[in-house]
Amino acid sequence: MYLDPRSKLPSMTIGNRRVGYLEKPLIVTEIGINHFGSFQKAMRLVDLAAESGAEIIKVQLHNASAEMSEHAKSVKPGNANVSIYEVINENSLDFVQEEKLRNYIFDHGLLYAATPFSREAVDFLKDQDADAIKIGSGEADHQPLIDLVCQLEKPIIMSTGMQSINSIAPSVDLIRTHKLPFALLHCTNLYPMPPKLARLAGIRELMK
């Protein structure tokens, strides 16, 4: 990360793409568990993202047994009639499929980013040549995981929706200790989000 001499604000590079205040917006498409565990659907989502003009695809790397406790098997989200453990377990790709999906993304000439939710997912990423690593807001204060991610020596994008300035500060310090380029995302946990709750002034706080 360096200060852009034009804007005097931090700038970073993801793959071959400069990201900064004066650069054009970077269009990122997320493939979470919306493929419902189907590799064919995941590839179709890559096709659609490429057709839509996305530059980078971000995947979620889930392994239910590695990232969840036994208690999760009895916790049901409000929008499902099965446990959150079952939701993740039934709608995730395995790491063999994830590697094939990464290759498919590269074949489209797109950049590849991934969100790991466990040590096992970080270990998987060691050999995947990701262009960036995303930290979800639920893990933004999970410093042991973030320390492992930093060891991949990749640009980091960190969401802040479930955090406060105080709770993310130690994680930001940790990333800075590793001397890695990073970006903080202003986000909420409401989908869709009512415009009146956007709190866009929060972006200035994150910039500070």
pLDDT in tens, 85-139: 999 999 999 999 999 999 999 999 999 999 999 999 999 999 999 999 999 999 9
* Contact assessment for residue 141 and residue 170, using Cβ atoms and an 8 Å cutoff: yes
pLDDT in tens, 145-179: 999 999 999 999 999 988 999 999 999 999 999 99
* Contact assessment for residue 113 and residue 133, using Cβ atoms and an 8 Å cutoff: yes
Query: Any idea of the CA torsion for 6, 8, 10, 16, to the nearest 10 degrees?
Result: 10
Checking if the pLDDT of 189 tops 90, the result is no
pLDDT in tens, 54-83: 999 999 999 999 999 999 999 998 888 999
C-beta neighbour count of 24 within 10 angstroms: 10
* CB within 8 Å of 96: residues ≥ 6 apart: none
Q: Strand 56-61's sheet: what is its strand order?
A: 28-31, 56-61, 111-116, 132-135, 156-159, 182-185
Instruction: Give helix then strand counts, H and E, for the chain.
Output: 8, 9
- Of residues 112, 126, 131, the one with CA closest to residue 60: 112
